[in-house]
Amino acid sequence: MKLIKRNGSEVTFDREKIVAAIAKANEAVDEDDRITPEKIAEIALGVENKCLKLKRAVTVEEVQDMVERALMELCAYTLAKAYITYRYKRALIRRSNTTDEKILSLIECNNEEVKQENSNKNPTVNSVQRDYMAGEVSRDITNRLLLPEDIVRAHNEGLIHFHDADYFAQHMHNCDLVNLEDMLQNGTVISGTMIEKPHSFSTACNIATQIIAQVASNQYGGQSISLTHLAPFVQISREKILMKVTEELADVGVCDPEAIKRIAEKRLREEIQKGIQCIQYQVVTLLTTNGQAPFITIFMYLGEAKNEQERADLALIIEETLLQRYQGVKNEEGVWITPAFPKLIYVLEEQNIHPDSPYYYLTKLAAKCTAKRMVPDYISEKIMLQNKVDKNGEGHCYTCMGCRSFLTPYVDEDGKPKYYGRFNQGVVTVNLVDIGLSAGGDMDKFWKVFDERMELCHRALQARHERLEGTLSDAAPILWQYGALTRLKKGEPIDKYLHGGYSTISLGYAGLWECVYSLIQKKLTEPEGEALGLEIMRKLNEYTAKWKAAEGIDHSLYGTPLESTTYKFAKCLQTRFGIVPGVTDRNYITNSYHIHVTEPIDAFEKLALEAKFQALSPGGAISYIEVPDMQNNLDAVLGVMRFIYDNIMYAELNTKSDYCQICGFDGEIQIERDPDGKLIWECPVCHNRDQSKMNVARRTCGYIGTQYWNQGRTAEIHDRVLHL
């Protein structure tokens, strides 16, 4: 069994340290108030047994709480007071400097919490450590100086989660929908250098990767670009190549228009291949200032093309993107594996969804790629046009920012819809499970606590918004001055883009499944559970609408992609409420509105049910199904894709794509328990447990992770059942 120390490092649980701590307090009280060594040993053993029953690593604070309760149960009040006093004095000493120990444990790679905070960051790399060190300082400043004490306390107790506190000290925002079209067509500036409109497709791809890296270094969330914005440069390259081929063949006395066209198209394909390869490899190999590859989503939507020629050229780009992603990238051993980024989104539309659709061949290729590499994910144009309707009554189809954060419909002062160049200000998530358990089955009390937590979240969101107000465009020139978002002048504040719906700010939610079950002992898959779940979702939307109307700030409801926080929330719930069957008996809680990972349910039933909840999560949501190896059953994949098109706005298929560098096994790496009860990854063939010698890719929060996860998320991955 493991113990998590205050600095985040993980050590083996040692009962004798409990004995020593109680004995020290025992010596500090009068002899009449002391307890026997046998009683001390009995208390220590009892605490160890309680910890073992939790079936997870425990924190020092949890152990100390158990000791205090045990002393009180013995009526050893004076001894308990001495123990509490000693603990309080130690806390005061620690509070005088809250960052040193965490930073030191981080540098030595002993901080278990930070090590597995982000499944796409390698904590042993200097650049990642530097980012985490800066993050610890920022978090410390945020907690002590920038946020109200009750919000900090609520975050620490797991009532809410104030996202990205490690970036809050700076004037930074969350996600972007990059206006790549503006930057490529009208030029941009990168690191003080003017970048003019490119004169070829390959150059446009190269510039796009530089933009992606710069944007990633100036915000902390995901970003998205559209391949449609690269499509016009295919025609530019075509014309250049045609001219060159014509000249070359003329030099040898050949003037055959068909031959010229055939050779030119072949060379054009080669340039498209090189351009997409540039994006793929640059994204995978780049390390931004936060120590990870850019969190980038690439959008593939034929419906965005301005004319038939551009659509045909866009199809060429999409085809090449899918082909290269299907192939994968080589690991250090030279073996083709599944990369985490870029995330791909493919729009299902009338032009590609039916066997007789002109671009159905792309859909078949997308299905093949998904079966092997887990991407692309799928947006239904049909459903999105119904869900995303602007004030003019027009529906729109557009990409999320990163994994799932969606902008709300927006019409500019000219009455035109606008999505590219917009962003999200940040997220605060409410732990719905805590509200449910706090109510104790009393619905009146539930709504009372619910209202209180909404007010708490609202004030936390206001703090996020106020932190951005007054930010000057100079803080991130690539975003605010050179076209990624806007083209403000130097020294100009960004405030006008924080109001009026141009940007969003997100109320996140987590654990709807457990919340409903805690209240009425019904699942979301049961009629009563579904009804209550939808009622809670509608109430959340009422709050965001009320805040938006009052402040002119576009609050939106967001299905939070919990990663490390799923473990934190679970531990906080267990501490506050103990083990409640069906609610807190696992080391994770369920993301957003999702059906629990252990629930046996058919893929189509799951997607149809979750579609109802997804429609009530306008600020961001994604649904998934777990599937076995589908590479030899592409018809089934295509069947799921057609169901997505008709029923749900945004969904994905989760398969497995792992590789063992020791024995060459290519399949699913298993999750096992070591003798201490810790979940570890193991090759089913050679039993290799060295994570540095295996490549594991799993989708956890709408995106693929490759650097492993904390124990809560690992348990959630282990518990997943197949839906197909």
Active site residues: 174-175, 401, 403, 405, 424, 558, 563, 702
Element (H, E) at 556: strand 554-559
Per-residue exposure over 328-346, b if at least 16 CB sit within 10 Å of its own CB, e if not: bbeeeeeeebbbbbbbbbb
Q: How far is 264 from 270, CA to CA, in rounded Å? A: 10
Pairing of strands 296-300, 223-226: parallel
With beta carbons less than 8 A apart as the criterion, state whether 399 and 177 touch: yes
With beta carbons less than 8 A apart as the criterion, state whether 204 and 198 touch: yes
Which among 431, 454, 383 is positioned nearest to 560, based on CA atoms? 431
Q: What is the DSSP string of 349-386?
A: -TTTSSTTSTTHHHHHHHHHHHHHHS--EEEEHHHHHH
Q: What is the DSSP string of 205-266?
A: HHHHHHHHHHHHTT-SS-EEEEGGGTTHHHHHHHHHHHHHHHHHHHHTT---HHHHHHHHHH
Q: Return all residues near 666 (Cβ < 8 A) that are at least 6 apart.
A: 335, 658, 659, 660
Element (H, E) at 316: helix 308-327
With beta carbons less than 8 A apart as the criterion, state whether 315 and 302 touch: yes
With beta carbons less than 8 A apart as the criterion, state whether 284 and 296 touch: no
Q: How far is 316 from 475, CA to CA, in rounded Å? A: 38
With beta carbons less than 8 A apart as the criterion, state whether 221 and 563 touch: no
Q: How far is 128 from 290, CA to CA, in rounded Å? A: 6
Instruction: Tell me the sheet residues that pair with 3.
Output: 11, 58
